[in-house]
C-alpha cells in the first residue's frame, strides 16, 4: 500500500538526515539553555541555572554523539 521513497532506503541519505537532525537538536538545546539562563528573570535563580545547564549538557551530549557516530575516520 505505502511505498518507501528511494531516499529512505539509501543508507547514505539516511545517515546524512540523522546527522543533520542531531546537529539541529543539539544546537537548539544549547541555544535554549543559554536563553533560559539569560532571558528568564521571573524564575528563581537556582531553578533557572538547573534548567539551563541541563539543556546545555543535553545539547552537548547530542553533538558528541554525532561526532562519535558519524566521524569519517571511524574504523569498523
The tens digit of pLDDT for each residue in 12-63 reads 888 989 999 999 999 999 999 999 999 989 999 999 999 999 999 999 999 9
In a domain, 76, yes or no: no
Is 5 a member of any domain?
Answer: no
The x, y and z cell numbers of residue 73, run together, are 575516520
* Burial category of 37 from C-beta neighbours within 10 Å (exposed 0-12, middle 13-18, buried 19 and up): middle
Which domain, by its residues, includes 42? Answer: 13-69
Helices (H), the chain: 6-9, 11-38, 45-69
Give the total number of structural domains in the chain.
1
Q: Determine, yes or no, domain membership for 3.
A: no
Is residue 76's pLDDT more than 70? no
43 within some domain: yes
Please tell me which residue, 7 or 57, carries the higher pLDDT value: 57
Q: Is residue 56 part of a domain?
A: yes
4 in a domain, yes or no? no
Amino acid at each position: 500500500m505505502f511505498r518507501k521513497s528511494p531516499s529512505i532506503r539509501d543508507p547514505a541519505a539516511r545517515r546524512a538526515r540523522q546527522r543533520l537532525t542531531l546537529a539541529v537538536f543539539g544546537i537548539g538545546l544549547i541555544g535554549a539553555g543559554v536563553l533560559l539562563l539569560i532571558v528568564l528573570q521571573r524564575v528563581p535563580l537556582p531553578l533557572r541555572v538547573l534548567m539551563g545547564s541541563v539543556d546545555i549538557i543535553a545539547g552537548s551530549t547530542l553533538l558528541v554523539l554525532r561526532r562519535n557516530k558519524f566521524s569519517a575516520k571511524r574504523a569498523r
